[in-house]
Amino acid sequence: MARTELEPRSCPRDGFWARLKGTGHSGQTVRSQRGLLAPDSMGEGPKRQRGPRGPPSLGGGHGVGKPAGTGGQGPRRQEGRSKEGAIRMVRRSQRRKLQKFTRLCGREEGLRVKRSCPSCGSELGVEEKRGKGNPISIQLFPPELVEHIISFLPVRDLVALGQTCRYFHEVCDGEGVWRRICRRLSPRLRDQGSGVRPWKRAAILNYTKGLYFQAFGGRRRCLSKSVAPLLAHGYRRFLPTKDHVFILDYVGTLFFLKNALVSTLGQMQWKRACRYVVLCRGAKDFASDPRCDTVYRKYLYVLATREQQEVVGTTSSRACDCVEVYLQSSGQRVFKMTFHHSMAFKQIVLVGQETQRALLLLTEEGKIYSLVVNETQLDQPRSYTVQLALRKVSHYLPHLRVACMTSNQSSTLYVTDQGGVYFEVHTPGVYRDLFGTLQAFDPLDQQMPLALSMPAKILLCALGYNHLGLVDEFGRIFMQGNNRYGQLGTGDKMDRGEPTQVRYLQRPITLWCGLNHSLVLSQSSEFSKELLGCGCGAGGRLPGWPKGSASFVKLQVKVPLCACALCATRECLYILSSHDIEQHAPYRDLPASRVVGTPEPSLGARAPQDPGGTAQACEEYLSQIHSCHTLQDRMEKMKEIVGWMPLMAAQKDFFWEALDMLQSAEGGGGGVGPPAPET
């Protein structure tokens, strides 16, 4: 029996292809095959079998009782053939352009891509002739075009794309891509900053910048984000006051967020329509009243650099450091102090009461100068000369170079470049809380520094009202002071008169000490951070722990991924978010000889006579010194070992000074230790 087949042809009614071929007679079985138009081939599509029908019409088409070429089916077939021809011409031209482009790009060395199928040989197969060849490699595109396309990706997706293969890692890590992203994130940014990778650093700083807060009281217990100034180049520091927030970026611009907080039905929330203005430029540091209660922060002291004329009436000028005082309520400047051009400062802190406010200024050389002002008279328009005085910590210990300092209302903490810690306590009550006794307190000489004995170099410090926290180079946390509410995190409420290690917590990102509680920001995993707290939980200071805790516990706060600093007031908690790619992990691994305890002795061995492992540590130190080839290297290694040894700060300073003298006597000059004492 003869059989008639329907092959795919164009059908104007439903977009399918149908064609009748073969021979047959009336009453024969008809099998219909229909297929969709393939996107890149003119071949036959998938076929669908149908059951037997009645006898076909004489014309063999879809019309009923109408022969082919007459009636409705003939013009429709002609129209389908014309559409088919047009589609074939368009696809043929596209295929030629694509082949021409691949031939041009394939001439470059190292970028040639084989177009033949490995299983079919070097000749083009039927599928390639129809346009179903191998996909084109992304490496064939010009690098400028690839960078332009990738620059439209979000920063998170760009970083993920750079981890897929070596080619995308090189492309995504290029400065051209990050320059375009930085221009997109901060269109008004004029300078990309400094560093090895300036555009990548600037783009990541502006992508990760953010200031978050969570109110302690009220019904709203979630973290909110503040209004970010578009002109800010990352966030370096911030300071909340009673009604406003001040933010310092990485290029020295100080921003004033006016009316940042509003109170609605007992809730603290960001005012979405808050305005921000540029308070000043060229700022290095700023400070206000060190107490946790923002009500006392009436004035803002800004350390900045300004151009001053050398001689009146001339155009020549030079840069001079100055301290400008602003009202926190309005941002109006009420006072200005200009220093000699030979003195360059980098940090400012405040200590004392309003009538006897002491400004402590840290120079680039590590010296501490102070001056006293009366805040109650700052709003009176007058001009007078204030003399700087060298602080006793720099006067009696001239070989010390102070790296950073922190203060509260009645005490100051200094950290040297070698990791030593020195204390100034001005009131007997705070002295008793910190050291547990008044035996060495001298009310007539309150500026005399007290050395704290630490086992290693100190990197971070935090000072509360009557307790403090220290973090050494191995990431160990030490707490000292009053422990009435459990703010030391030692698991009990016993005061500590000397630094005590919190053994279950290590390698914090930052540490903050408040009135009667402490906060620690730590890295919980590779992609998340958590906030830990201890002490008094009244008023919601420890979210999730209203009764407080004598140990550091995880707080119910969703910490941003790039959180780097924190601060708490009576009303709310603030978290600063920013990531600097040039800041590496400051901590080192603890040597085996410094780990608490000694390895278990073997069977039959006697009990060790050196439970602390001191002899083993000294032998290791001697072997390290012996491995150095030159005298200069041995002197430097000895200085490093002195910093590791559990000595008092005064003893470490003595050894460092003696080593410097020996090094200079041997003609080694230019050591990295503390400088020789000044006469």
Question: Could you give the CA distance from residue 136 to residue 112 in angstroms, rounded to a whole number?
Answer: 10
Mean pLDDT (the chain, rounded): 76
* Torsion angles phi and psi, residue 7, rounded to 5: -100, 160
For residue range 491-501, what is the model confidence (pLDDT) as tens digits? 899 999 999 99
Return the top range by mean pLDDT from 28-32, 300-304, 392-396.
300-304
pTM above 0.75, yes or no: no
Helix (H, G, I), strand (E, B) or coil at 498: strand
Of 9-13, 244-248, 283-287, the poorest mean pLDDT is in 9-13
Partnered with residue 21 across adjacent β-strands are: 5
**Helices 143-150 and 175-185, axial angle in degrees (round to 10):** 30
Under the banding of pLDDT at 50, 70 and 90, the label for residue 291 is confident
Of 165-179, 309-323, 564-578, the poorest mean pLDDT is in 309-323
pLDDT recorded at residue 369: 95
Q: Which amino acid is at 597?
A: G
Mean pLDDT of the 407-433 span:
91
Tell me the torsion sign for CA atoms 249, 465, 372, 405: negative
For residue range 178-225, what is the model confidence (pLDDT) as tens digits? 988 888 887 766 665 555 678 888 889 989 998 888 888 655 556 677
Partnered with residue 359 across adjacent β-strands are: 350, 371
**Higher confidence at residue 624 or residue 75?**
624
For residue range 213-266, what is the model confidence (pLDDT) as tens digits? 888 865 555 667 776 777 788 899 999 988 789 999 998 999 998 765 554 444
pLDDT recorded at residue 551: 92
Mean pLDDT of the 134-138 span:
73
Q: Does residue 358 carry a pLDDT above 50?
A: yes
pLDDT recorded at residue 94: 75
Mean pLDDT of the 350-355 span:
90
**Higher confidence at residue 72 or residue 599?**
72
**Which pairs with CB-CB distance under 8 Å and at least 24 residues apart come from 136-141?**
136/98, 136/102, 137/111, 137/113, 138/167, 139/111, 139/113, 139/167, 140/102, 140/105, 140/106, 140/111, 140/113, 141/105
**Residues with Cβ < 8 Å from 478, sequence gap 6 or more?**
454, 469, 470, 471, 472, 499, 500, 501, 502
pLDDT recorded at residue 242: 81
* Torsion angles phi and psi, residue 661, rounded to 5: -65, -45
Largest CA distance in the chain: 126
pLDDT recorded at residue 229: 75
Q: To 10 degrees, the CA torsion angle through 131, 137, 138, 141? A: -70
pLDDT recorded at residue 76: 62
Question: Could you give the CA distance from residue 557 to residue 545 in angstroms, rounded to a whole number?
Answer: 11
For residue range 69-115, what is the model confidence (pLDDT) as tens digits? 444 555 566 666 777 888 888 888 877 766 665 554 444 433 333 43
pLDDT recorded at residue 633: 82
Of 23-32, 386-395, 616-625, 661-670, the poorest mean pLDDT is in 23-32
**Which pairs with CB-CB distance under 8 Å and at least 24 residues apart come from 118-124?**
none
**Higher confidence at residue 488 or residue 122?**
488
Q: Does residue 599 carry a pLDDT above 70?
A: no
**Residues with Cβ < 8 Å from 189, sequence gap 6 or more?**
182, 183, 202, 206, 231, 233
Q: What is the DSSP letter of 433?
A: H
Under the banding of pLDDT at 50, 70 and 90, the label for residue 667 is low
For residue range 359-407, what is the model confidence (pLDDT) as tens digits? 999 999 999 999 999 888 887 777 767 788 999 999 888 888 999 999 9
Mean pLDDT of the 476-484 span:
94
- Read off the tokens for 405: 């300092």
Is 269 in contact with 224 (CB distance < 8 Å)? Answer: yes
pLDDT recorded at residue 103: 55
Mean pLDDT of the 594-601 span:
45
Mean pLDDT of the 511-524 span:
92
Return the top range by mean pLDDT from 91-100, 479-488, 622-631.
479-488
For residue range 536-582, what is the model confidence (pLDDT) as tens digits? 998 888 998 989 999 999 998 989 989 999 999 888 899 999 999 88
pLDDT recorded at residue 50: 46
Under the banding of pLDDT at 50, 70 and 90, the label for residue 638 is confident
**Higher confidence at residue 631 or residue 648?**
631
Mean pLDDT of the 613-623 span:
72
